[in-house]
A = this chain, B = another copy of it.
Amino acid sequence: MYLSTGIFQDIAEENFQKMMTCFHSRQKHYPANEIITTYGSQGSRIGIILEGEIMVIRTHYDGRQTILEHLEPGDIFGETLSVIPNSISLIQVISVRPCLVQYIDYQCLIRRCSKACPWHSALVNNALRLISQKAVHLGERLEVLSQRTTREKLICYFSLASFHSHSDTFLLPFSLSTLADYLCVDRSAMMREIRKLKDDHLISIVRRQVTVFFDRSTPSDVRETHC
């Protein structure tokens, strides 16, 4: 199994197996709703999601949960990339649907390779893209959480979701219950604000299908330069 746009992009299939060995890489399938890993328990592996859907969830000592990340194919996770030294909360990576994950060793990746393997460079290049993408995702998450009120968080989240789906109408990737955990607010308070948004004719929401009636964010220009 080989994801053409992923970490092994631009690497000839014949080198694939060698690299799998060199970078302690392996692939693993997971059924739905399985604990893939618990932070604190594993070393410097990073995982790249090839198929499926994954959530990184923090469970507080008092039972409250926060959805730290919601990941899809092409996204990556790993303790090394999000070392949050916190002894009182438990951070778990959980499969929402059946998943296929590719692992590589972060230390192997980041170290200067004394053998200067010709493929190392391509791999690092790809990793750079994936990690940049992660930074962008985290930045968007930050944008949502930095909103002061629940209403603003909802508008910000819906606006981003609408932008990403290229449409005014889109499906929520999770239940309203889970959305509250994602926005870090109380569910009932969130339901109240959703009702107000409906009353104000800013959104329409039936089940997980949301339509926004405000302008969604416009993408900034993508400029191209050459090296």
Name A's B-contacting residues (CB within 8 A).
10, 22-24, 39-40, 43-44, 58, 64, 66, 68, 79-87, 105, 107-113, 116, 120-122, 124-125, 127-129, 131-132, 134-136, 138-143, 145-148, 159-160, 163, 184-186, 215, 217-220, 223-227
Contacts of A83 in B (CB 8 A): 136, 139, 220
Q: Which of A110, A113, A121 has the most CB of B within 10 A?
A: A121
What are 29 of the A-B contact pairs (CB < 8 Å)? A10-B112, A22-B227, A24-B225, A66-B146, A68-B142, A68-B146, A81-B135, A85-B160, A85-B218, A85-B219, A86-B159, A86-B217, A105-B225, A107-B224, A107-B226, A108-B225, A108-B227, A109-B128, A111-B227, A112-B122, A124-B128, A131-B132, A134-B135, A138-B138, A138-B139, A141-B142, A142-B142, A145-B145, A148-B184
